[in-house]
Structure 1
Amino acid sequence: MLEKNQGARLANLWDDAKASTMSESERLLYRSNLLGSDKRITNYGGGNTSAKVIEADPLGAGVVEVLWVKGSGGDVGTIKMDGFATLYMEKLNALKGLYRGLEHEDEMVGYLPHCTFNLNPRAASIDTPLHAYVPKKHVDHMHPDAIIAIAAAKNSRELTQQIFGEDIGWLPWKRPGFELGLWLEKFCLKNPNARGLVLESHGLFTWGDTAKECYETTVEIINKAIGWFEGNNTVPAFGGAVKPVLAAAERRAVAEKLMPVIRGMISQDEKKVGHFDDGEAVLDFVTSRDLAPLAALGTSCPDHFLRTKIRPLVVDFDPASPDVDKTLAGLADAVAAYRADYAAYYERCKRDNSPGMRDPNAVVYLVPGVGMITFAKDKATARISGEFYVNAINVMRGASGVSEYVGLPEQEAFDIEYWLLEEAKLQRMPKPKSLAGRIALVTGGAGGIGKATANRLMAEGACVVLADIDETALAAAQSELAARYGKDVVRSVAMNVTDEALVAKSFADTLVEFGGLDILVSNAGLASSAVIEETTLELWNRNIGILATGYFLVAREAFRIFRRQKAGGNVVFVASKNGLAASPGASAYCTAKAAEIHLARCLALEGASEQIRVNVVNPDAVLRGSKIWTGEWKEQRAAIYKTDTEGLEALYRERSMLKLSVFPEDIAEAIYFLASDMSAKSTGNIVNVDAGNAQSFTR
């Protein structure tokens, strides 16, 4: 980072003892993971590492030189051995004889698979020639903010010479590919003592004869740049602050109001998930004098640009006189203007063979005094896009503090965004899962049905917020699901569904975490059993409070969000067979469940005109994993039916028409059906998952 308060040097993390036991390829992996562990060195998915290793030829032709290089789409911080492409150096060198010039450069990528060593299925990236033709055993290509700030300065070449002398060279902007690989080779042959070079508007190349030397050179050069900026970048960042920063709670409140509205406007063709960042670097930028002109220039590094689009949208908001309603009223015009500007950019820059125009909506939304909102097809991409724009902010801070920041030229930016090779990569992406981009909140999310439902929705690509009153079970459920699907896609909120303020806060937290809401699974529950004369008012009110009032409160909050988003919505109530079929000794429970079902019918009527669907799943006797069966309820129901607790599951199974037990996963499957587009033309319906009970037939 280039901020003074984060200017500490990178540590040398190389461990000779650990590295000494490794093979050359393992040392490449070790070096890669060390470099990728610090975002000051490179961002997620950015940068490449390589090593030229002597290997035994599997065809029995003795030993050969093999290029190990990060494969296409990998991340150096998390890469494993199978993330590297391996290619015969002899064949890579032979490709030079096939190269027909710059206008035919893209065809060279098609030759790379013919150079594959040992049938490695990992696809080689377009950066492969950049590593292959540097005549050194080990090569690092990183995207440090401190170096890109030099690379993106108007006098980039002079700054490189001033800071590094002859130690580090400089090359003008050239799109990554075969031609740039030849440029690098030519530079190295003409400058045998250079240890690396700066690529204009792009990043840093360093090299060495050993993995350790290469790693230490990379760290040394970045530290030198950080130190130089500390001593020379003394002007106020971005022209100085001209707008106030709102307090943290106010910032979140503004984001909570803006995010679902923006999301609704940009999710017509593809659902988006949001991310909010109000870190120090972002706040410095969105309160500055030069926010608008710098934002309009866009990013410089291709990796930044591909993640953040041609430029961000600066939201019209005045933190000195905050009026969120005024901002919301102007959002539609602002989004439409951005789309029109993007379409004009496409028309200006398109070529005869360019792919069709992609999504014209902004990825990055900058809100003065509040922070940055990013939207993408999934949470991880939205978060990473935000991280890349923070990198861009740091680059602008450095470049504009010592020189003049220069963005990537518009035509170059377009040629990267609509590169045919990039389009081919997009076309190879797997088809999105059925709930990709959807955001769900599940009450009672730490229990058997709730957790099974979250698991089912997440397996189909949804982001899920678990809500539960049991904070211990909630933390365990979140940890379990995060381990299975990743931290990005699951959050938890402690929620008592009978507490109006807490319900509202939980939904507000959901909006700031993910940007909106598509699915509410109202599943919070309890169970009680008592004959009528032993049913206390407290017991009656507790059932009504959780199972009727609680369902009303969470549904009301969801409806408010759905109507702000203007993109429809989906509510699934988990009721009970007992809501349709009377049961002895459970009048409070059965009555509350009946109220729940009728509430769902009313809401289906209210929401239909706005594409808000409301449906019900009726379970029965879901004993396994259900928290309501762990207390007195199980004993009470056993007493009612004159059996013991061990025999209760068998009793319920045998009384069903299908003679089957019902499990949480069975309920989750029905909820998924109603929450997905498979039931897109269904609302006001009840699905019984009770193994068959004639009393609960709905017709």
Structure 2
Amino acid sequence: MGAGDFKYVSYLWDDATAAALGDDQVALLVYRSNLLGADLRLTNYGGGNTSCKAMAKDPLTGKEVEVMWVKGSGGDLGTMKRSGLAALYVDKLHSLANVYRGIEHEDEMVELFNHCIYDLASKAPSIDTPLHGFLPFKHIDHLHPDAAIAIAAAKDGKRIVEELFNGTLGWVEWQRPGFDLGLKMKECLDANPGIRGIMLGSHGLFTWGDTAYESYINTLEVIERCAQYLEDNYGKKGPIFGGQKIQSLPKDERLKKAAALAPVLRGFCSNSDVKTPPSGVRGMIGHFTDDERVLEFINSNHLDKLAPMGTSCPDHFLRTKISPLVLNLTTDEDVNNVAAVKEKIQPQFEEYRQMYANYYNNCKHDNSPAIRDANPVVILYPGVGMFTFAKDKQTARVAAEFYINAINVMRGSEAISEYTSLPRQEAFNIEYWLLEEAKLQRMPKPKALSGRIALITGSAGGIGKAIAKKFAEEGACVIINDINEERMQGTMEEFKKQFGRDTAASVVLDVTNEESAATAFEKACLAFGGVDIIVNNAGISISKSIAEHTLEEWDRLYDILVKGQFIVSKAGIAIMRKQNIGGDIINIVSKNAVVAGPNNPGYGSAKAAQAHLSRLMAAELGGDKIRVNTVNPDAVISDSNIWAGGWAEGRAKAYGITVEELPAYYAKRTLLNEVILPEDIANACFAFVGGLLSKSTGNALNVDGGVAMGFYR
């Protein structure tokens, strides 16, 4: 079979690539896994697992033994490497059945997996390990394809599977993954010899083969048949989701409304009591999508019936929570009227939190972990789109992808039968599973700026880029911007390579233009949900005597440095106030704000205006928990636009030296005899926002190597 034989899945197998791997079954497993993980119709990020069994030499006895390599805990099929696999002795894994004490005690078996480890350097085994271990096949795929789960979650899914596959696909009723489910699957196979796979009720699909290719093809064929069955039945029971109840706003209006509302929602999701936020709240990061599949669902007549039911597949549920919050807002709602929209939304959040608390209290066990954040992960705005909020951008984006999977499942189940979700108690047992809690406790401690969003003006180079990199390294999401689009795109590519796809977004920004600033903050709100840190860094430098200075040069300096700081700060403050979780503004000023040097009336006075505007803003914004501080650099030469446009020549002339002598001159005039680098300014900015100075505002930090004339008195 080849690519042309499949309509609903992607056939990606390349014979030449596979042949180059020879008989290395583990390499073929990794290759197959990456192909399966590359098609989101088969499984989503972090979902599913695959395995192979092959003979290997026992390092102690030298004898050939059967070893199973299986995707380890927490990995992702699409990006998995050999190091992401767990390797276990098959015979030792089977022998665990001799000490199994029953389903009430199955969690204790996870620790016993460690006694079966073949490769001590391999990944920790996942809870799904027994599901592969007790099946005899050389290669096995366990995926969560929407088309299969739509059938698995249908009210009469078992009957449909029997009829659709003529008895060649087994069925195991819903059960939490674990040792006992592995035994149940073996029982299913023993009772139905010759089947090509097993459908797990409400959960997913297991398929297999004697070779990597046979397993791959078997998997694609089963999913293709499921998808074709759904396609053949759409519309037979009536309009999808009962037809459309409302119409979506036009695309540009949806994005405008989403950008305006996102910071309000982020504020509610970041704090259980948004009226009195504590200092230094760690915000949630947002994601927005108006994908056509989302709009079809949220605009439908059946939204109110299906949304509260929640999802069926545990992989979906763990990332999207028990159910979404459906906003009771119309498409003509004035979301720019912040007070009114908050007044309308707040009771909806309170109702959701109470629902979640009731769910926890009604389902908890004596040893259940404490209740977690009661705010929604998924928020649906009919006619506009879907917001998701989580601890970081990747988690928020993946939550959105999983909820789209859940929509696909509901769509298919409703077309062929009736959708069923996990019972609340079963859902709770997954969400508050002690093994899941242990996994959460092993997660790395959040970085200092995790959950924070920063917009640094002029961040495509020099000081701005150094600040953006520092913040990204410390966990922040950043908005890369510049007036030079080519320079901005180059920096954005650099950030993608260094930090991945979820750390940065980009937008062209002219700080002297209110509309441009508004567009930049709309981008921040759509990309991440809002903004927490603004660094006014964009600038130019003109060094001339007052006699030589032109009015045009004077206006340009004040437009970019002073008016630019005002425009960007004003737009950002409005976003921060919507969020009501505080924030930081840092203004990159200069030693020249306090030092009266030669040939510097325009630049120096503009910098002094920036400095005093910073103090005025600090005095005004304290009640909003918005801190305003300044960093005063001096002579930052490396990769800086400051030296363009004749500034270097002007300063050299003022000091009676050559341009080439400037770096050494600047270093020698400092008390520490140091050259100041962009990274030094970035470190100073981080000092203000990293948490240790969260009660400081209205301050200035000199980063100039020590210039006595620049000391504050």
> 1:498 corresponds to which letter in structure 2?
T
The gaps in structure 2 that reach 5 residues or longer are 1-5, 272-280
> 2:518 corresponds to which letter in structure 1?
A
Q: Which has the higher mean CA deviation after the structures are superposed, 158-167 or 350-359?
A: 158-167
Q: Given the alignment of the two structures, is residue 495 of structure 1 paired with residue 496 of structure 2, yes or no?
A: no
SS of corresponding position for 2:502 = helix
SS of corresponding position for 1:17 = helix
SS of corresponding position for 1:198 = strand
Query: Aligned runs of 1:173-192 on 2, under 5 Å?
Result: 173-192=174-193
When residues 466 and 432 of structure 1 are mapped into structure 2, their CA distance, relative to the original with a 3 A threshold, is same
Equivalence for 1:296: 308
Deviation at 1:333, TM superposition (A): 0.7
CA distance in 2, matches of 1:672, 1:416: 39
CA distance in 2, matches of 1:564, 1:322: 16
Deviation at 1:166, TM superposition (A): 1.2
CA distance in 2, matches of 1:404, 1:677: 51
Q: Which has the higher mean CA deviation after the structures are superposed, 642-651 or 536-545?
A: 642-651
Query: Aligned runs of 1:250-265 on 2, under 5 Å?
Result: 250-265=253-268
Does the CA contact (< 8 Å) of 2:49 and 2:71 recur in 1? yes
> 2:131 corresponds to which letter in structure 1?
L
> 2:123 corresponds to which letter in structure 1?
R
Equivalence for 1:90: 91
Q: Given the alignment of the two structures, is residue 390 of structure 1 paired with residue 404 of structure 2, yes or no?
A: yes
CA distance in 1, matches of 2:117, 2:329: 54
Q: Which has the higher mean CA deviation after the structures are superposed, 52-61 or 205-214?
A: 52-61
CA distance in 1, matches of 2:122, 2:67: 15
Does the CA contact (< 8 Å) of 1:571 and 1:675 recur in 2? no
Q: Given the alignment of the two structures, is residue 278 of structure 1 paired with residue 277 of structure 2, yes or no?
A: no
Query: Aligned runs of 1:652-663 on 2, under 5 Å?
Result: 652-663=666-677
Q: Which has the higher mean CA deviation after the structures are superposed, 186-195 or 22-31?
A: 186-195
CA distance in 2, matches of 1:160, 1:273: 40
CA distance in 2, matches of 1:150, 1:250: 36
Q: Given the alignment of the two structures, is residue 525 of structure 1 paired with residue 525 of structure 2, yes or no?
A: no
Q: Given the alignment of the two structures, is residue 640 of structure 1 paired with residue 659 of structure 2, yes or no?
A: no
Equivalence for 1:55: 56
Query: Aligned runs of 1:7-26 on 2, under 5 Å?
Result: 8-22=7-21, 23-26=24-27
Does the CA contact (< 8 Å) of 1:317 and 1:323 recur in 2? no
Does the CA contact (< 8 Å) of 2:87 and 2:122 recur in 1? no
Query: Aligned runs of 1:576-615 on 2, under 5 Å?
Result: 576-615=590-629
Equivalence for 1:224: 225
Deviation at 1:118, TM superposition (A): 2.5
CA distance in 1, matches of 2:301, 2:341: 20
Q: 2:581 aligns with which of 560, 563, 567?
A: 567
CA distance in 1, matches of 2:107, 2:333: 50
Deviation at 1:191, TM superposition (A): 1.6
Deviation at 1:397, TM superposition (A): 0.3
Q: Which has the higher mean CA deviation after the structures are superposed, 17-26 or 86-95?
A: 17-26
Equivalence for 1:4: none
SS of corresponding position for 1:477 = helix
Equivalence for 2:276: none
Deviation at 1:631, TM superposition (A): 3.8
Deviation at 1:329, TM superposition (A): 2.7
CA distance in 2, matches of 1:303, 1:178: 18
Q: Which has the higher mean CA deviation after the structures are superposed, 472-481 or 592-601?
A: 472-481
Q: Which has the higher mean CA deviation after the structures are superposed, 14-23 or 543-552?
A: 14-23
SS of corresponding position for 1:488 = coil
Q: Which has the higher mean CA deviation after the structures are superposed, 29-38 or 627-636?
A: 627-636
The gaps in structure 1 that reach 5 residues or longer are 1-6
> 1:266 corresponds to which letter in structure 2?
C
Deviation sequence 1:243-291 (CA, Å, 0-9, x none): 0110111111111122111111221364200000101100101100011
Q: Which has the higher mean CA deviation after the structures are superposed, 435-444 or 324-333?
A: 324-333
CA distance in 2, matches of 1:287, 1:394: 15
SS of corresponding position for 1:487 = coil
CA distance in 2, matches of 1:543, 1:54: 73
Q: Given the alignment of the two structures, is residue 678 of structure 1 paired with residue 692 of structure 2, yes or no?
A: yes
Deviation sequence 1:465-511 (CA, Å, 0-9, x none): 01211111111111111211111110111011001111111111111
Does the CA contact (< 8 Å) of 2:668 and 2:674 recur in 1? yes
Equivalence for 1:473: 487
Q: Given the alignment of the two structures, is residue 665 of structure 1 paired with residue 666 of structure 2, yes or no?
A: no
> 2:526 corresponds to which letter in structure 1?
V
Equivalence for 1:506: 520
Equivalence for 1:354: 368
> 2:13 corresponds to which letter in structure 1?
W
SS of corresponding position for 1:503 = helix
Equivalence for 2:418: 404
> 1:376 corresponds to which letter in structure 2?
A
> 1:17 corresponds to which letter in structure 2?
A
CA RMSD between the two structures:
1.1
> 2:252 corresponds to which letter in structure 1?
A
Deviation at 1:111, TM superposition (A): 0.3
Equivalence for 1:305: 317
Kindly tell me the number of residue pairs found equivalent between the two proteins. 692
- TM-score, normalised to structure 1, is 0.98
Equivalence for 2:500: 486
Does the CA contact (< 8 Å) of 1:135 and 1:188 recur in 2? no
- TM-score, normalised to structure 2, is 0.96
Does the CA contact (< 8 Å) of 2:318 and 2:431 recur in 1? yes
Deviation at 1:298, TM superposition (A): 0.2
CA distance in 1, matches of 2:234, 2:482: 50
CA distance in 2, matches of 1:667, 1:525: 15
> 2:313 corresponds to which letter in structure 1?
C
CA distance in 1, matches of 2:692, 2:480: 24
Does the CA contact (< 8 Å) of 2:130 and 2:182 recur in 1? yes
CA distance in 2, matches of 1:358, 1:611: 26
CA distance in 2, matches of 1:686, 1:264: 29
CA distance in 1, matches of 2:555, 2:14: 64
Deviation at 1:14, TM superposition (A): 1.7
Does the CA contact (< 8 Å) of 1:258 and 1:328 recur in 2? no
CA distance in 1, matches of 2:620, 2:632: 21
CA distance in 1, matches of 2:399, 2:563: 40
Deviation at 1:51, TM superposition (A): 0.2
Deviation sequence 1:415-463 (CA, Å, 0-9, x none): 0000000000001111110110000000010121011101110111000
When residues 323 and 615 of structure 1 are mapped into structure 2, their CA distance, relative to the original with a 3 A threshold, is closer
> 1:240 corresponds to which letter in structure 2?
G
CA distance in 2, matches of 1:605, 1:327: 28
CA distance in 2, matches of 1:391, 1:662: 51
> 1:341 corresponds to which letter in structure 2?
M
Deviation at 1:327, TM superposition (A): 4.3
Equivalence for 2:451: 437
Equivalence for 2:299: 287
SS of corresponding position for 2:140 = strand
CA distance in 1, matches of 2:305, 2:99: 45
Deviation sequence 1:572-623 (CA, Å, 0-9, x none): 0001000111121111000100000000000000111111100000000000
SS of corresponding position for 2:547 = helix
Equivalence for 2:204: 203
> 1:137 corresponds to which letter in structure 2?
K
Deviation sequence 1:354-391 (CA, Å, 0-9, x none): 00000000000000000100000000000000000000
Q: 2:384 aligns with which of 350, 353, 370?
A: 370
Deviation sequence 1:168-217 (CA, Å, 0-9, x none): 11111011000000011111122221000110000100011111000000
Deviation sequence 1:492-537 (CA, Å, 0-9, x none): 1101100111111111111111001110011001000111111100
CA distance in 1, matches of 2:712, 2:250: 53
Equivalence for 1:3: none
CA distance in 2, matches of 1:11, 1:493: 34
Deviation sequence 1:340-362 (CA, Å, 0-9, x none): 00000000000011000000000
CA distance in 1, matches of 2:504, 2:163: 48
> 2:326 corresponds to which letter in structure 1?
V
Equivalence for 1:168: 169
Deviation at 1:545, TM superposition (A): 0.3
CA distance in 2, matches of 1:327, 1:577: 44
